[in-house]
Amino acid sequence: MTGAFRTTTGGRIDRARPLSFRFDGRAFTGCAGDTLASALLANGVHLAGRSFKYHRPRGILAAGAEEPNALVGIDRGPGRYAPNLRATQVEIHDGLVAESQNRTPSLRFDIAALADFAAPLIPAGFYYKTFMQPAGWWAKLYEPRIRAAAGLGRAPRGADPDRYTQRYAHCETLVVGAGPAGIAAARAAAARGDRVILCDEQAEPGGSLLAETRARIDGLCAQDWLAAALAELAAEPRVTILPRTTAFGYFAQNFVALAERVTDHLAVPDPNLPRERLWQVRAREVVLATGAIERPLVFPENDRPGIMLADSARTYLARYGVKPGCRALVLAAHDDAYGAALDLAAAGMEIALIVDPRPAADGELPRRAMAAGLPVRMSATVVGTRGRLRVHEAHVGTIGADGGVRGVDVVSCDTLLMSGGWTPSVHLHSQARGKLAFRADLQAFVPGATPQACRSVGACAGEFGLQAALGPATRVEDDPVREGGFAGALPHDRPRARAFVDFQNDVTAKDLTLALREGFRSIEHVKRYTTNGMATDQGKTSNINALAIVAAASGRAIPEVGLTSFRQPYTPVTFGAFAGTSRGELFDPVRTTPIHGWAVAQGAIFEDVGQWKRAHHFPRPGEDMHAAVRRECAAVRARAGIFDASTLGKIEVVGRDAAEFLERLYVNSWKKLEPGRCRYGILLNEAGFVIDDGVIGRLAPDRFHVTTTTGGAARVLSMMEDYVQTEWPDLQIWLTSTTEQWAVIAVQGPKAREILAPLTEGIDLSRDAFAHMAVREGRVAGVPARLFRVSFTGELGFEVNVPAGQGRAVWEAIWEQARRHDAVAYGTETMHVLRAEKGYIIVGQETDGTVVPDDLGLGWAIGKGKRDFVGKRSLSRPDIAAPGRKQLVGLLSADPGHVLDEGAQIVAMRDPPPGTPALGHVTSSYWSATLGRSIALALVADGRARHGQTLFAPMPGGAVPVAVTGPVFHDPEGRSLDG
């Protein structure tokens, strides 16, 4: 037996396959095909959760995605804990472990339920009103306490060990929802030859057909017709049926995101399968067949366990073989509740009373209920209920002609079923930016015009009944018209009683009217103030009732009040599905140079520069970073060092107009640069600010080898392409990224020439034949090379460019020679120190997007007599020509052993009063082994006029006095450049 409330026959569960599961530590048995909710109900368990604010005991309300109360955590082992899942959507399997949420210590006894007694003290807006004063208490007391109480469910601990995948798909027709309307649409599309994707959030497709008990379709019972229709669709090779797949987001141009749950329902998942799959579907047409959600009724104490939606109760019986209780009171504002009462009565449940707030109900189903002898009371409503952990009685009153309620009869019941009619699920239509129209007969919004190729069919379009869903070609028998529908709060005469509208966020009808009394009028404001519709269910069962209450209380019509926005996701989606494979090592590509393996073997310590791994320093045994950098710096200045500069951005600029192009782009003059010569180029944006720099060599009249910063390579190429295509399409040039084609080995230091000489063929390395800032082509270590004579250290220097594939071999050949001269391999930190000693800037360190060439002392680089280049006009804008700009200076701290903090502010006074603007800040700061003291570069207002002044860097331990100097600390005459 799989529960005392399980029927002996009927439903789609497999009684021959019992499954054991645990809920809050207690063992239960369910059947294959059960959801956690149906299995709990089969065992007589309604109490499934505690409400968020008042911690009131709550039961299972619904049977689908709209469930607001029965939120559970599912524990599938370490790192595999999923909170806030709707028990109505969790399929059970053998060994499933579920727990309730928001209760301490147990669901039946929750200490925090004291909040319920304090409810009159915590109305809507309580937090806004209460925690205002004193202001200082917010950070220390209020916020920590509120944070401790906030949150629903607990986050899993540890990394998620599961795998998630993503798929892109294209189709002519995407059908969302595999109920009768969706199946009909999919069949029609398949008949046209479309590629069709039919997705449905439930474990099996069929929607309402899975619980249909009366109607016959083409002479078959609904389940037999469904099986045949699905088999026919499944046989179509161009049709993809995706069960357990929620269409949760609808974006522009029919781009729809689907979340497929692949393995959560399996006791022992195939390890080769992902847990979830995110589908990104682009469809020519989208058919929304998302059905409708039954509306709860708002009456006092309408939130006790045992109070359910009527059609959900009927679904549990018809689909899962579960009776929701023994004795039901039915509150029917819609004919469908009569159908539920008939089905449940036929299954042996006692119907204590059908209470209908309408003055009359003469539809087919009410007539059948009365004919079957079910007790019915019209013009009546429920004005209260009793029962702490389960409803045990309902108080029924009569609605008078004046709208007042009088006379109370107590009706005992263990189940209260309610129906306020149906709310079409227009979520995706609205996300698709479709308009909504209000239909008074349904008391609901239905889809209007949409700017996308998207249409709604069946119940979500407000077209109810099987015949409307299946179309005229299908013969439907015994599918009577059902009428009714109610939105808002039912009348009662108990001003202090609470009637819940939003079950998940504990918003009552009184909270909504209070918000109106306090002056909120816009429904968006009322929503945020009361939090109605802002829980994880986004108000699926509450929005329309709230809207109707606000409309009635403010004397407006519902369409006048308007509707709050429907946002993605329809139901919550895991972070894993969004992340897909983009995690761990696959989160971001790692770029390594051809020489990387050598550096790893040498024990280099690496740093990340963008996506690149760069050798930061090469420590020897026993050395820390500082010792290694001091040794590397000293060796380069005394002898030589070799450095892997392969990450430098490189762009080959070729064509008749190559020089003209660079002339227009860079600040420098290029036309007169002779082939075989190089120049230090500076690139501005149109606002005049430095965005990149690098050495550019001219190899031939129509060919330049452009280098960029490591981080700027892609940006500069994009900018070049942009100008070529959009501003100067008349220029004949071609741009090719060659960053990864060349390995670059910098050989720097007085011994550089001697190291390269034995390896170099076809290039005269002598000082006269190969001057500083020249480029030659030849062979190095037998490999074709472009050899630049450039220096970023101030020493005699070469940069050897060889094809990347030979980079490692050439590096090792150079290293062999370097060792003979006791030279070192050095990393980026030594490179930084050596260039700072020379006052060479690094774009992004000495610049921050607000720095023009003159600020850096680089005004000399701007080509004289150039009429225009990118950014030129900005250099004469008034604020850039104005005095007082921050300029690059050197700083020497009074204590030579004190290395300033990079980013430290610079001020004129030792103890400036608060509010004093800084003169500038430290951009680079190092220990200089060459000078035997600390050095720093800084941008300081009017810096060049301040040489010799003492300024201060205020630090937590007291202001540090610094002397302002020029930015070149070492060899200002440049004597070392020639070796």
Partner 1 sequence: MLLIACPHCGPRDEAEFVCGGQTHIARPGPPETTSDAQWARYLFERDNPKGLHLERWLHRHGCGQWFNVARDTLTHEVKAVYGLLDTRPDVT
> By the criterion CB under 8 A, which residues form the site for partner 1?
251-255, 280, 282, 433, 451, 686-687, 718, 721-722, 725-727, 729, 867-868, 872-874, 876-878
Is 927:934 a contact under the CB 8 Å cutoff?
A: yes
SS3 state of residue 186: helix
C-alpha 412/C-alpha 732 separation (Å) is 90
Q: Which is nearer to partner 1, 669 or 806 (CB)?
A: 669
> What beta strand segments (E) does 527-670 contain?
605-609, 612-617, 641-644, 649-654
- Give the whole-angstrom CA distance, residue 533 versus residue 540: 7
Q: Which of 310, 414, 322, 317 is nearest to 365 (CA)?
A: 310
Q: Which is nearer to partner 1, 574 or 874 (CB)?
A: 874
Minimal distance, residue 866 CB to partner 1, in Å: 10
Shortest distance, CB of residue 453 to partner 1, whole angstroms?
11
Task: Select 91 or 194, whichever has its Cβ closest to partner 1.
Answer: 194
CB 502 within 8 Å of CB 533: yes
The C-alpha atoms of residue 781 and residue 791 are separated, in whole angstroms, by 21
**Rounded Cα–Cα distance for residues 227 and 239 (Å):** 16
DSSP string, 84-150: EEETTTPBP-TTEEEEE-S-SB-SSSBGGGHHHHTGGGS-TTHHHHHTTSSTTHIIIIIHHHHHHH-
Give residues with Cβ within 8 angstroms of 416, minimum separation 6: 304, 306, 307, 308, 328, 329, 330, 331, 382, 385, 391, 394
CA atoms within 13 A on the CB side of 497: 19
The two counts, helices (H) then strands (E), for the chain are 25, 51
Taking the complex as a whole, the smallest distance from the CB of residue 865 to partner 1 amounts, in Å, to 12
Q: Which H helix or E strand runs over 905?
A: strand 905-906
CB of 254 to partner 1, least distance (A): 8
Q: Which is nearer to partner 1, 878 or 932 (CB)?
A: 878
Containing H/E element for 570?
A: none
Q: Which of residues 687 and 809 has its CB atom nearest to partner 1 in the complex?
A: 687
Nearer to partner 1, 431 or 443 (CB): 431
Q: How far is the CB of 433 from partner 1 (least distance, A)?
A: 6
CB of 182 to partner 1, least distance (A): 24
**Is there a contact between 627 and 825 (Cβ–Cβ < 8 Å)?**
no
Q: Which is nearer to partner 1, 674 or 868 (CB)?
A: 868
Tokens of 443: 């008391």
Q: Which is nearer to partner 1, 173 or 923 (CB)?
A: 173
Q: Quick check: 199 and 280 in contact, CB under 8 A?
A: no
Min dist. Cβ of residue 718 to partner 1 (A): 8
DSSP string, 425-456: --HHHHHTT--EEEETTTTEEEE---SSSEEE
DSSP structure string for 730-763: TS--EEEE-TTTEEEEEEESTTHHHHHGGGEES-
Structure-token pair, residue 878: 């008034």
Question: For residue 210, what is the DSSP state?
Answer: G
Q: Which is nearer to partner 1, 106 or 565 (CB)?
A: 565
Nearer to partner 1, 870 or 977 (CB): 870
Q: Closer to partner 1 by CB, 138 or 723: give it.
A: 723
In 473-580 the beta strands, taken as DSSP E runs, fall at 476-477, 500-502, 507-508
Three-state secondary structure readout of 840-895: CCCCCCCCCCCCCHHHHCCHHHCCCCCCCCCCCHHHHCHHHHCCCCEEEEEEEECC
To the nearest whole angstrom, how small is the minimum distance from the Cβ of residue 740 to partner 1? 17
Q: Which is nearer to partner 1, 135 or 252 (CB)?
A: 252
Minimum Å distance from CB 727 to partner 1? 6
For partner 1, give the closer residue by CB, 158 or 878: 878
HEC string for 287-329:
EECCCEEECCCECCCCCCCCEEEHHHHHHHHHHHCECCCCEEE
The distance of closest approach from Cβ of residue 722 to partner 1 in the complex, given in angstroms and rounded to an integer, is: 7
How far apart, in whole angstroms, are the C-alpha atoms of residue 61 and residue 82?
Answer: 21
Which residue number, 400 or 451, has a Cβ lying nearer to partner 1? 451
Nearest distance, CB of residue 610 and partner 1, angstroms:
17
- Which residues partner with 783 through β-bridges? 780
Q: Which of 581, 570, 576 is nearest to 82 (CA)?
A: 576
C-beta separation of 693 from 716 below 8 A: no
Q: Which helix (H) or strand (E) holds 332?
A: strand 327-332
| C-alpha separations of 442 from 334, 486, 534, 634 in Å | 10, 8, 24, 85
CB of 726 to partner 1, least distance (A): 6
CB nearer partner 1, residue 210 or residue 256? 256
Please, what is the minimum distance in Å from the beta carbon of residue 869 to partner 1? Answer: 9
Q: Choose between 478 and 721: whose C-beta lies nearer to partner 1.
A: 721
Whether residue 977 contacts residue 748, with contact meaning beta carbons closer than 8 Å, is answered with: no
In the complex, least distance from residue 636 CB atom to partner 1, rounded to whole angstroms: 40
Angstrom distances, CA of residue 617 to CA of 600, 601, 602, 744, 800? 11, 13, 10, 17, 20
The distance of closest approach from Cβ of residue 282 to partner 1 in the complex, given in angstroms and rounded to an integer, is 6
User: CB 688 → partner 1: shortest distance, Å?
Assistant: 9
- Smallest distance from the beta carbon of 597 to partner 1, in angstroms? 30
Amino acid at 380: A
Nearer to partner 1, 717 or 937 (CB): 717
Q: Minimum CB separation from partner 1 for residue 280, in Å?
A: 8
Minimum CB distance to partner 1 smaller for 8 or for 876: 876
Q: Are strands 47-50 and 57-59 parallel, antiparallel or unpaired?
A: antiparallel
